[in-house]
Amino acid sequence: MGDTQAPEHDGASLAGQWWRSAAIYQIYPRSFADGNGDGVGDLAGVRAHLSYLSELGIDAVWFNPWYASPMADAGYDVADYRAIDPLFGTLGEAEAFIREAHEVGIRTIVDIVPNHCSDEHPWFKEALLAGPDAAVRDLFWFRSGRGEHGELPPNNWSSIFGGPAWTRTKNPDGTDGEWYLHLFAPGQPDLNWENPKVREEFEDVLRFWFDRGADGVRIDSAALCLKDPTLADFDPADPPSPHPFEDRDEVHDVYVSWRRIADSYPEPRALIGEVWLPEEPERFALYLRPNELHTAFNFDFLGCPWDAAAMRKVIDDGIALHAPVGAPPTWVLSNHDVIRTVTRYGREDTRFTLDYRQFDAPSDLALGTRRARAAVMLLLALPGSAYMYEGEELGLYEVMDIPAEMRQDPMFFQTNGVNLGRDGCRIPLPWSGEARPFGFSPDGAAGAPWLPQPADWADFTVERQQADPSSMLWLYRDALRARRSEPGLGDGSMTWLPTGPDVLAFARDGDFVCMVNLSGEPVDLPAGATVLLASGPLDGDRLGTDTAVWLRRSAGSR
């Protein structure tokens, strides 16, 4: 039995620190709900479903980028950080959403993309027009090519989406010009964070959204912003330390400065980092020092196989990692970049990493669904905050068979289809009815959904699940409601209880217990405990395989 203790905190200083316990729902605006009938989700659609969000029982929503963008990477290529893309609506609608959501107790987190902007951003357009020696080029990473005529990229860096990380430009007179760096798609030129103008601009963008009521920001690719200014070649299989563009020490100055801005608001705003550093947990924790980010996604949990020992380790390590810096752990099962949970858990190999997506692995969706039900109860019982990606509450599966001509993700195109990319987890949500678009768009909409929905999603609609108390949707609602009313859940400590090796059982403050059976056999529930919620049917006093339960312990059983 182990006691995993969060550090002591002075209650008063934690008041208002909602991010320590929040259950946060991720809205991928293109795919949530289409209000204007063009086949793409928008703010009108989200506002029309505010009661759905409120009934779900979440504390906050995180919006993927909604800014003006040519959509080379579904909005992660931002042309104007202060404008809403007309595809999604207007700034007035975003402000109205933030206000209306506050009225029903839901906070809003917006996505800030600092590593790169769009090639349609005014700075980049100006830099292209201004030609090689112009000062404005210093806002990006423009360099001459190698080779006799500059025909080779300036170095050997690869794009995270595949292919080279450099694209050659044309000079204003039409001749071949310099190259620019893009760690992602060519439409996403990397910004030069050594340049003070870049820093000032983003600090102003933060204030812009905080002034409009945003309660926090999710920081995209937070560890990538700073680069080795020598831009030296390196061997990706054996990168030097420090890495030329990942997790460089200088990046922390950026977030120390952002923290001052976040803390300057009467109700401090939360900074949430997307920091993928699976090999370097101690470096990950540096981002969460008291004067930097408030939380960061724990991707180890998201990639962990369905295995009790592995889960226990990820949970213990996650808590231990956060404790010295006093930050709350943040648990996440899924997002818009990864394979849907029911598909992953239905596979023989249930791991996920950015390099290990297994597009061709078969999945037993009934098994995956059973495990996903248990997993969300685990997620919501752990100490700290929890993130849920839209559609997980409907038990949607990863759609593998999207025709190539309908795919949108640059990852698919930049790898020539070797990597199917992320479209399969971004399919528009099914709301109602028996036929596509399943209420995603209004009746008689002109546009088909931007990615095709499978015909059998008639079985997954909100309408259908609402009418079925055993649905995934009701499990989410019941669990979220219980989470709010259980004083022991959210931030705090947990204590492992003695069990067999393939069972996870832990107590939270008070008399609350979460138990998950990952073994192949039913196991006994603790004597005298009262069942609060179960992810599947119980067999008398026994908990079946791949099932989770929340219990109230009797005084005598402690």
Name the site residues for ligand GLC (rule: CB under 6 A).
Answer: 73, 76, 113, 184, 220-221, 274, 336-337
CB 315 within 8 A of CB 379: no
Single out the residue of 482, 484, 469, 462 nearest to residue 393, CA to CA.
Answer: 462
547 DSSP 8-state letter: E
User: Residue 477 and residue 171: Cα distance in Å, rounded?
Assistant: 57
Closer of 34 and 111 to ligand GLC (Cβ): 111
Residue 447 identity: G
User: Residue 480 and residue 439: Cα distance in Å, rounded?
Assistant: 25
Q: At what angle do helices 196-211 and 251-263 cross, to 10 degrees?
A: 30
CB 441, min distance to ligand GLC, A = 23
Closer of 76 and 123 to ligand GLC (Cβ): 76
CB 66, min distance to ligand GLC, A = 14
- CA 431 from chain center: how many Å? 22
Distances (CA, A) of 283 to 171, 193, 301, 310, 355: 41, 20, 17, 21, 21
Catalytic status, residue 282 = no
Give the containing element (helix H, strand E) for 211. helix 196-211
CB 235, min distance to ligand GLC, A = 23
CB 248, min distance to ligand GLC, A = 17
CB 336, min distance to ligand GLC, A = 6
Could you say which of 73, 93, 247, 274 is catalytic?
Answer: 274
Closer of 220 and 491 to ligand GLC (Cβ): 220
At CA 211, angle to CA 207 and CA 216, rounded to 5?
70
CB 221, min distance to ligand GLC, A = 5
Give the containing element (helix H, strand E) for 496. strand 494-496
Could you say which of 215, 220, 292, 393 is catalytic?
Answer: 220
Closer of 116 and 199 to ligand GLC (Cβ): 116
User: Residue 505 and residue 495: Cα distance in Å, rounded?
Assistant: 9
Closer of 57 and 189 to ligand GLC (Cβ): 189
What are the helix (H) ranges across 27-170? 29-32, 43-48, 50-56, 91-103, 122-130
Distances (CA, A) of 475 to 377, 397, 460, 482: 9, 17, 14, 10
CB 548, min distance to ligand GLC, A = 28
Catalytic status, residue 274 = yes
User: Residue 446 and residue 215: Cα distance in Å, rounded?
Assistant: 35
Closer of 115 and 465 to ligand GLC (Cβ): 115
CB atoms under 10 Å from CB of 393, counted, come to 25
CB 404, min distance to ligand GLC, A = 19
- For β-strands 270-273 and 295-296, DSSP reports them as parallel
Closer of 164 and 544 to ligand GLC (Cβ): 164
User: Residue 164 and residue 184: Cα distance in Å, rounded?
Assistant: 9
CB 28, min distance to ligand GLC, A = 9
Q: Which residue is nearest to ligand GLC (CB)?
A: 76
Closer of 225 and 376 to ligand GLC (Cβ): 225
Under DSSP, is residue 223 helix (H, G, I), strand (E, B) or coil? coil
497: left (phi over 0), alpha (psi -120 to 50) or beta: beta
Would you list the DSSP string of 90-120?
Answer: -HHHHHHHHHHHHHTT-EEEEEE--SB--TT
CB 227 within 8 A of CB 248: yes
Closer of 274 and 486 to ligand GLC (Cβ): 274
CB 191, min distance to ligand GLC, A = 12
* Length of the chain as a residue count: 558
Which backbone phi and psi does 84 adopt, to 5 degrees? Answer: -90, 140
- Catalytic residue numbers read 220, 274
